Structure 1
Amino acid sequence: MKNVSELYTRPSRPIKILQFGEGVFLRAFADYAVDIANEENNFNGNIAVILPRSGKTDRFAKQNNIYTVCLRGQQDGQVYKENRVITSIDSVISARDEYDAFMALAHEDALEFVISNTTDAGIAYNEADQFSDCPPSTFPAKLTKFLYERYTYYQGDIQKGLVMVPTELNDDNGQLLKSCVLQYAALWNLDDAFTAWLASACRFVDTLVDRIVAGYPAGNIDAIQEELGYEDALLDQAEPFSLWVIGDPSLADKFTIGSDKFHVEFTDNIQAFKEQKVRILNGAHTSMVLGAYLSGLDYVGQCMADPVVRRSLDQTVFGEIVPTVDLPREKAEAFAKAVYERFENPFVNHALLAISLNSISKWKGRILPTFKDSVAATGKLPKWLTYSLAALLAFYRSTEEGDGCLIGARAAGNTYEIHDDAEKLAFIKENAAKATAEYVRAVMSRSDFWGEDLTAIAGFADAVTAHIDRMAEVGVKAHIEELGRDA
């Protein structure tokens, strides 16, 4: 069987993008988007990939930097498959082993953008980094030297500034990156004129990214390559859903990477999109999975196929969560429908127990703000979000210790592990054997767990207690069904 690079060629285009990071996420996200933009939007730009730490570029060289992105999932109610050969990467260079080649890219006339994905800890400042280091250790230090090289080479030309578009998951990632660059400029006593050039010629943009990337599908690579008709050691698998929220509307006409196949939002209200993701995507998971697991289900896909649990999710998401999102209703509902298709992805078995980890902090961050906004808007406790806390306390309620966890038991008799911070689990164990009302009030009153005393919310603790008692009386699944009928 031939290699993908023997069947496809890589067109020569100007290098418009410098990319820090060679991982599977960027290759199935940004590099995929640029490939489509070259084809459909006349973007006419390729990518120079920088390996920030590794020196191993040979796996890319063996395939002439060509590889396949295989999308597998569900779209518009149908199973979706797409195989796209990516030809947008011009070169792959090790910052450590090919330092001069890395810095020479600063001289590229067509260069406009810097993309990065260096893990959440990648955007960091280390005062031990020196300007004489070739290269320095951190990504922001490498970027600072690169920008200074470009500033020097082009003699401060205002037209040669770059736009930094980080995809790390840090809050305000663009501004965090900018602050690190400015710290290095000060640490290294670089010209004041360089700092002025950073402010006037360069932009650091906050972003939000969303796509699940599975990476190299080792378990079924033979079947995929048989389907493709070629070998590809860089093959990258991801879901069809994509969202890149870019916090600078003025870039829409310059960074033309959006398409029907790749969703990009340029906005000056990036916080609303973050809220949408946390409340709808993460909130749907957190509100659903613990009760669903106690009712006998094991995977998200099973939840979506179960009419009782699916109805509860519908009423939770569209009745209680979507109305609190600070975006037009139709946009939030469209996002919610896309989330449903992601949950239904037939190529992914997402275990409920995997989602259950650290549920106390997840409920605090993903559900509580929505809960409080709903109470403020309606003057009453939202039924399903109230139930979700009851499901959490029922799921956690155990006095049996395991190895770094508590051991819970479903009605059918099988046991499961409960994982959270040791202090939280110790407190649960200490109080789990108490009467339900006392147990509920003990946990809900822990301000250090929730950021506030939840028993101070009128009627909340009594409602949670009633849910737990009813689950014990009729069974979790039957209680979910009752709540759904009462809508």
Structure 2
Amino acid sequence: MNVDASFTPPKTVQNVSYERNAHGVGIVHFGVGAFHRAHQAVYTDGVLAKHGGDWRILGVSLQSTKGADALNAQDGIYTLAVREGKEQHLSLRLIGSITEVEAATRGTDKIFQTLAAPQTRIVTMTVTEKAYGVDRSSGSVDLSNASIAHDLKDPANPIGIIGMIVKGLSLRKDAGLKPYTVLCCDNLPKNGKIVRSGVLDFARRIDPELATWIEAHGAFPSSMVDRITPSATPELLAEVEEILGAKDAAAIETEPFSQWVVEDNFCNGRPLWEDVGVLFVDDVAPYERMKLRMLNGAHSLIAYAGFLAGHKYVRDAMADQHIHNLVEQHILAASKTLTPLSGIVFEDYGKQLIERFENPNIAHETYQIAMDGSQKMPQRIFEPAIESLEHGLDIQPFALATAVWIRYCAGITSTGKTYDLRDPREDELRSIFKSGNGNASDICTAFLELANLFPAQLQQSDIWAEQLKDQLSSILKSHPLG
């Protein structure tokens, strides 16, 4: 037996408490992966249970079909698993906010019909930083990005997130409808502004009148999301099946902690997410910086240092006292680059992060976190490094994190095992090691000279360059190229 709309779970499992078919689709979400199923879909499920409304979600998978097949076979229903309390009891809850998932590679008619529907009011996305194809410094679309290039040439048949958003908005404009709010949920600084600038630039290139309409009537709130969510393991799926008495191929496990901070800027209505724990604010940026620098920055350090040390999971890396100490130092250094934030004690937040990273029940792979480093390092590591330089603070933790990432970019362990970086600049990054012949100074110089990676303040800083070279030299001694 499989989990689906006809399935009745045991009394120990929290079931969907509302009549799903009584509520229409009001949200389209791009990127229905583990994080969305543990975060935005859960908050929306809570609103539906508390208030009802037409806020169910049509999911869109831009590349994979696996997730779509798993969820669609279960009528969009899946299990959220959370381990709670000292006994680490596995608490299960069925989530019903997703109606179905459309795989874009199989066709986009249903996707655009829904984007153009009057009842669709919000488009959300968790598609990773690299998927947008927007230059963060200029705000314009990256013409070298494959999806952007394709969609500008054939805007009627887009394959990328920016092109799809623009086509959906174009359909609404032509139909005389209000635009939908575009709510980015990826770990990008000022994510709403970045997506807005990319959408407007793309629209101007194909239809200036459409761009003017979007600029006048659209909304692109920024948001900060936080919940550590690893990919589901076979062991989790087996444990969930044993408790449910049914198979759930889309089950997901996450930590008890969850946070969503959203700029209250919507153009066409929204769910009452604040009634289920979402914090609406005028300015997300301070919360965003705190999370990117303290949590995400430390996460990247753990990923690269942990992977190179042979630790598969974050929890294993945190059990390594050397890495544990480095993480504590990094979190403290990152906190010193932040301005005071009402209701937040950075020291307490840092301790909470350590506890979350140490959680023995979350199997978050270092290799999973390590992907797309060239897209993540600027906001997680380079920005606080710049502020530390400007204010005379310690830059060593940020130089160390950068050096560990650079060593990871070699694509080979100390034992000679090779691995893919899973980075859009992979070939470029790996080639530096081939030409650097293991010389830390030459490698660092070549990395600093790469276009569109390090900010000018770091490229021009002798202090930063010396710290970086010293750190990489040390790392290459402990983790030589295999």
With normalisation by structure 1, the TM-score equals 0.68
Q: In the alignment, is the contact (CA less than 8 A) between 1:33 and 1:258 conserved in 2?
A: no
Matches within 5 A, 1:70-469: 70-72=81-83, 79=88, 81-93=90-102, 101-105=110-114, 108-119=117-128, 120-122=130-132, 125=148, 126-131=151-156, 135-153=157-175, 156=176, 160-169=178-187, 172-182=190-200, 185-186=203-204, 189=207, 192=209, 195-248=211-264, 254-258=270-274, 264-285=278-299, 300-302=314-316, 304-305=318-319, 310=324, 313-314=327-328, 316-318=330-332, 320-328=333-341, 330-349=344-363, 366-367=380-381, 369-371=383-385, 373-374=387-388, 377=391, 382=394, 386=396, 389=399, 408=414, 421-422=429-430, 424-425=432-433, 429-431=437-439, 447-448=448-449, 451-452=458-459, 455-456=462-463
Higher-Rg member (1/2): 1
Could you tell me which amino acid in structure 2 is paired with residue 332 of structure 1? F
User: How far 1:338 moved relative to its partner?
Assistant: 3.7
Hey, what's the Cα distance between the residues in 2 that align with 1:175 and 1:152? Answer: 25
Could you tell me which amino acid in structure 1 is paired with residue 338 of structure 2? V
> Which secondary structure does the structure 1 equivalent of 2:459 belong to?
coil
- Give the superposed CA RMSD: 5.0
User: How far 1:164 moved relative to its partner?
Assistant: 1.2
Gaps of 5+ in 1: 409-413, 433-438, 477-487
Could you tell me which amino acid in structure 1 is paired with residue 335 of structure 2? V
Q: How many residues align?
A: 437
Gaps of 5+ in 2: 9-18, 134-146
> Which secondary structure does the structure 2 equivalent of 1:5 belong to?
coil
Could you tell me which amino acid in structure 1 is paired with residue 123 of structure 2? V
| Comparing 272-281 and 52-61, the one that deviates more | 52-61
> Which secondary structure does the structure 2 equivalent of 1:301 belong to?
helix
| Comparing 137-146 and 355-364, the one that deviates more | 355-364
Change in 2 beyond 3 A, CA 1:91/1:224: closer
Q: In the alignment, is the contact (CA less than 8 A) between 2:226 and 2:258 conserved in 1?
A: yes
Could you tell me which amino acid in structure 1 is paired with residue 48 of structure 2? N
User: How far 1:84 moved relative to its partner?
Assistant: 1.7
Aligned to 1:7: 7
Change in 2 beyond 3 A, CA 1:427/1:13: same
- Among 24, 27, 36, the alignment partner of 1:17 is 27
Hey, what's the Cα distance between the residues in 1 that align with 2:220 and 2:280? Answer: 14
Change in 2 beyond 3 A, CA 1:388/1:287: farther
- Among 32, 40, 59, the alignment partner of 1:30 is 40
User: How far 1:6 moved relative to its partner?
Assistant: 2.1
Report Cα offsets for 1:100-149 as digits up to 9, x if no partner. 55444356444321123345325653222144xxx443343333343333
Change in 2 beyond 3 A, CA 1:228/1:372: same
Could you tell me which amino acid in structure 1 is paired with residue 396 of structure 2? T
Q: In the alignment, is the contact (CA less than 8 A) between 1:287 and 1:367 conserved in 2?
A: no
User: How far 1:221 moved relative to its partner?
Assistant: 1.9
Aligned to 1:484: none
Hey, what's the Cα distance between the residues in 1 that align with 2:70 and 2:6? Answer: 15
Change in 2 beyond 3 A, CA 1:386/1:289: farther
Hey, what's the Cα distance between the residues in 2 that align with 1:252 and 1:338? Answer: 36
* Seq. identity, %: 23
Q: In the alignment, is the contact (CA less than 8 A) between 2:382 and 2:398 conserved in 1?
A: no
Residue 73 (structure 2) pairs with residue 66 (structure 1):
no
Report Cα offsets for 1:198-229 as digits up to 9, x if no partner. 33332123334343433443344222211122
Aligned to 1:45: 55
> Which secondary structure does the structure 2 equivalent of 1:284 belong to?
helix
Aligned to 2:142: none
Change in 2 beyond 3 A, CA 1:98/1:453: closer
> Which secondary structure does the structure 1 equivalent of 2:26 belong to?
strand
Hey, what's the Cα distance between the residues in 1 that align with 2:115 and 2:165? Answer: 10
Report Cα offsets for 1:451-476 as digits up to 9, x if no partner. 33665479x769969x969xx9xx99
Change in 2 beyond 3 A, CA 1:95/1:393: closer
User: How far 1:34 moved relative to its partner?
Assistant: 0.4
Could you tell me which amino acid in structure 2 is paired with residue 70 of structure 1? A
